[in-house]
């Protein structure tokens, strides 16, 4: 954990120093401590600090949500979008643009989060009906069915409204560019609530890994664990996707790396995922800035390019397990 914290600190410093305007680490530290009105200080404090903070919050959100989803569903390939939450956030953003004329990132956050939360609640309500309640299979199927429906509605709107398509495509790529401190402050309360909900289910997730019957025999309320954990993961995924757009592979690959480092105890897996995911996101963002200067490759594309080899290496190293 200490080693990973040091790597995370180095990734943060790299994010603050590297870009179209290279800034020496000593100058970055001086700008953080003393501020100032020099060009370098303004670039660091006004542009790169908010971007780095948003990356930390988004990465931690996706990492924790992915670990929670894999534990709740006992599915090693589960990730935050498995319940259709990412598509729900996208539907919220499309609604904001097409119906309410919202054109700012800060406005997208609220609508995207609302869409994600409504989708998560609807998925659980559908899965909970019938015999057996909200089982992992029913949750996954309900999520994918709803995601397909929302995806069709989004496509219908975008193909008939060129203005909405022009705005939506900039959000869709998954980007940290232009994220301000206002976006970070908007994310913070939702991030805190989501983390508290997921952490409250950590011991229950360990029990669920043994099966529902065993978990019940150990005195755990399975449905309560799934509701609280699912709500926490929905909140975290919703606010992350709303703030930056869809970012793939972080929630899928990072929990496997965390388990390879700390074992299967979900208290440690959640904590390690919260540290590893921002590292992946920050490194991907920095690489996107320097690969094809002065152009910038958005972080949503870079995480897929980096995450796929990591996941393949983890799969080749040992069998993939969820708990």
Write the DSSP string, 259-304.
Answer: HHHH-S-HHHHHHHHHHHHHHHHHHHHHHHHHSSTTS---HHHHHH
From 278, 277, 274, 272, select the one nearest 259 (Cα to Cα): 272
Q: Return d(Cα 321, Cα 160) in angstroms, integer.
A: 44
CATH of the domain at 222: 1.10.3470.10
Q: Return d(Cα 298, Cα 258) in angstroms, integer.
A: 25
**Is there a domain that residue 322 lies in?**
no
Tokens found for residue 153: 């509605």
**Is there a domain that residue 228 lies in?**
yes
CB 273, CB 281: distance < 8 Å: no
Q: How many residues does the chain have?
A: 323
Calculated CA dihedral for residues 30, 55, 94, 231, nearest 10 degrees: -130
Q: Return d(Cα 87, Cα 243) in angstroms, integer.
A: 14
**Is there a domain that residue 255 lies in?**
yes
pLDDT of 9: 97
**Is there a domain that residue 323 lies in?**
no
How many independent structural domains does the chain possess? 1
Q: Return d(Cα 84, Cα 153) in angstroms, integer.
A: 14
**Is there a domain that residue 153 lies in?**
yes
**Is there a domain that residue 160 lies in?**
yes
**What are the C-alpha distances in Å from 205 to residues 89, 158, 215, 254?**
26, 39, 9, 17
**What are the C-alpha distances in Å from 277 to residues 98, 136, 190?**
33, 24, 18
Tokens found for residue 233: 């993961």
pLDDT of 323: 45
CB 251, CB 63: distance < 8 Å: yes
Query: Which residue blocks in the chain are alpha helix, DSSP H?
Result: 2-17, 25-34, 39-42, 49-73, 85-98, 105-128, 136-160, 162-172, 181-199, 202-208, 212-217, 222-244, 250-262, 266-290, 299-317
> What residue numbers bound the domain in which 102 lies?
2-317
**What are the C-alpha distances in Å from 51 to residues 140, 179, 200?**
33, 6, 29
Confidence (pTM)? 0.90
Tokens found for residue 74: 């006992």
Q: Return d(Cα 85, Cα 265) in angstroms, integer.
A: 26
**Is there a domain that residue 14 lies in?**
yes
**Is there a domain that residue 273 lies in?**
yes
pLDDT tens track of the chain, all 323 residues?
999 999 999 999 999 999 888 899 999 999 999 888 889 999 999 999 999 999 999 999 999 999 999 998 887 877 877 778 889 988 998 999 999 988 877 788 889 889 988 998 898 888 888 777 777 788 888 888 999 999 999 999 999 988 888 888 878 888 898 888 999 999 999 999 999 999 999 999 999 888 888 888 888 888 899 889 989 998 999 889 888 988 888 998 899 899 999 999 999 999 999 999 999 999 999 999 988 888 888 898 898 888 778 777 766 765 544 44
């Amino acid at each position: 954990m200490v080693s990973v914290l040091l790597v995370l600190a180095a990734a943060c410093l790299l994010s603050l120093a590297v870009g179209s305007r290279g800034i020496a680490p000593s100058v970055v530290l001086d700008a953080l401590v003393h501020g100032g009105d020099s060009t370098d200080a303004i670039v660091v404090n006004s542009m790169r600090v908010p971007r780095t903070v948003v990356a930390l919050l988004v990465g931690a959100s996706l990492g924790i949500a992915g670990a929670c989803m894999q534990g709740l569903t006992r599915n090693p390939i589960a990730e935050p979008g498995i319940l259709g939450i990412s598509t729900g956030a996208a539907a919220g953003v499309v609604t904001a643009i097409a119906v309410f004329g919202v054109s700012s990132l800060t406005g997208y956050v609220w609508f995207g989060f609302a869409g994600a939360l409504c989708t998560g609640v609807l998925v659980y309500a559908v899965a909970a009906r019938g015999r057996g309640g909200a089982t992992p299979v029913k949750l996954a199927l309900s999520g994918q069915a709803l995601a397909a429906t929302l995806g069709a509605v989004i496509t219908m709107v975008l193909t008939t409204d060129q203005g909405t398509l022009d705005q939506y495509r900039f959000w869709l790529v998954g980007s940290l560019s232009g994220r301000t401190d206002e976006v970070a402050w908007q994310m913070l309360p939702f991030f805190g609530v989501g983390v508290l909900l997921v952490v409250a289910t950590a011991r229950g997730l360990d029990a669920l890994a043994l099966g529902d019957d065993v978990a019940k025999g150990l005195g755990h309320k399975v449905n309560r664990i799934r509701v609280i954990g699912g709500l926490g993961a929905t909140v975290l995924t919703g606010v992350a996707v709303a703030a930056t757009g869809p970012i793939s592979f972080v929630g899928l690959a990072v929990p496997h790396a965390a388990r390879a480092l700390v074992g299967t105890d979900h208290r440690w897996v959640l904590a390690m995922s919260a540290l590893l995911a921002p590292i992946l996101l920050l490194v991907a963002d920095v690489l996107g800035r320097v690969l094809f200067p002065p152009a910038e490759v958005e972080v949503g594309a870079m995480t897929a390019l980096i995450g796929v080899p990591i996941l393949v290496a983890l799969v080749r190293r040992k069998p993939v397990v969820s708990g």
